[in-house]
Amino acid sequence: MKMKLGLIYGGKSAEHQVSLQTALAVINALDANKFDIHPIYINVVGEWIRGSVLQAPITDVNLLKLQGNKISPLSLNNDLFSISEGPSGTEKLDVIFPLLHGPNGEDGTVQGLLEVLNIPYVGNGVLASAAGMDKVIMKNLFAQAGLAQAKYISFIKSEFNDNQDNAYKQVEEIIGYPCFVKPANLGSSVGISKCKDKAELEKAFKEAFEYDRKVIIEEGIIGREIEVAVIGNDAPICSVVGEIAPKKEFYDYKAKYEDGDTDLMIPGNVTDNEYETIKEMAIKSFKAIDGSGLVRADFFLTNEGKVLINEVNTMPGFTPFSMFPSLWKHSGIEYPNLIEQLVDLALERYKQKQEIKHTF
């Protein structure tokens, strides 16, 4: 029997297009002899649309933008996650793979829905997804876990508007220049600015607040950008490391997803001791957010050889330019096998949760 795998993609997020590219790559990598693929599309206004089971690979990403009847959230379990009427009633999908990036998908909201409906799903749970999406909460957890990281401060929009001059002053006194201003709850380098002076800082605050009510300002670190991929549940393992060498000032959205104007060096040029430190910190960060399934952990390696954790991404992309699957390929796990391992981890975690008592 083939596994009935539901793919949720799209989403009401600035990273909608990134999610479509991820879904396209995953669909075309899955073994049709092992999986029946059921597409579930969330359009840009947040409407869920269920597609027919896919019978062949997809070559045009626009075909993933499904049209048709909109499904009420009240009937999600039967209308969205069922497939047919079998001998014992409505048959359900075996497992869901949320291929969502950014808010309204990667942030624990969809994971919470799947938890309530008691459906197995790939990747991180509600807590890890939410913590991994909010860079401020994430960094607070890293600090509590004793992980070395760059200096940072944050502001919500209302307090910033109440005293903008004080916010600029705090950034200059605590962080200094250069610094990075980012929306707290977004990924894929959307809304991020590098600031070298106050004029750029003022502009950066304005742009970041267009995408979120909370922004984070981080110290600019002189060093190399190192990434490592992690998979697992209670006993996570790490891939080899990779190094990002952007040809621009930083690894922005365009470099990641459009022009490929970045050198991804795998494996990265690190010493054995540096790798052991990175691996230890990656697993520690995974556990700090109570991760499951997968994360990509991003680090800075300074010119003095100090390792600083930057962030973890709880749903890294699977595009042709993505680091996560490339790291595992160089670690001996090909892309289709990686997806299957993630599905197995999802079912393992689901089975463990079913053993938990809910009465006493």
Which of 35, 44, 49 is closest to 97 using CA atoms? 35
Q: Is the pLDDT of residue 260 over 70?
A: no
CA–CA distance, 280 with 35 (Å, rounded to integer): 35
Residue-level pLDDT at 66: 85
Q: Which residues contact 68 (CB under 8 A, 6 or more apart)?
A: 49, 50
- Domain assignment present for residue 359? The answer is no
pLDDT in tens, 306-335: 999 999 999 987 775 789 999 999 999 999
Least confident of 86-100, 133-147, 162-176: 86-100
Q: Is the pLDDT of residue 58 over 50?
A: yes
- Domain assignment present for residue 345? The answer is yes
**Structural contact between residues 230 and 297, judged by C-beta atoms closer than 8 angstroms:** yes
Residues 304 and 349 in one domain: yes
Beta bridge partners of residue 227, listed in sequence order = 242, 298
Residue-level pLDDT at 74: 47
Q: Which of 121, 138, 171 corresponds to the end of one domain?
A: 121
CA–CA distance, 187 with 101 (Å, rounded to integer): 7
Q: Is the pLDDT of residue 167 over 90?
A: yes
Q: Is the pLDDT of residue 88 over 80?
A: no
Which of 104, 83, 85 is closest to 36 using CA atoms? 83
Parent domain of 40: 3-121
CA–CA distance, 166 with 159 (Å, rounded to integer): 10
Number of other residues whose CB lies within 10 A of the CB of residue 306? 13
Q: Is the pLDDT of residue 256 over 80?
A: no
Any idea what the CATH number is for the domain that residue 198 is in?
3.30.1490.20
> Distance from first CA to last CA of the chain, Å, rounded?
37
Any idea what the CATH number is for the domain that residue 17 is in?
3.40.50.20
Would you say the pTM of this structure is higher than 0.95?
Answer: no
Residues 11 and 116 in one domain: yes
pLDDT in tens, 227-243: 999 999 999 999 999 99
Residues 312 and 235 in one domain: yes
Which of 195, 159, 182 is closest to 102 using CA atoms? 182
The number of distinct structural domains making up the chain is 3
Q: Which of 219, 238, 255 corresponds to the end of one domain?
A: 219
Residues 213 and 231 in one domain: no
Q: Is the pLDDT of residue 269 over 70?
A: yes
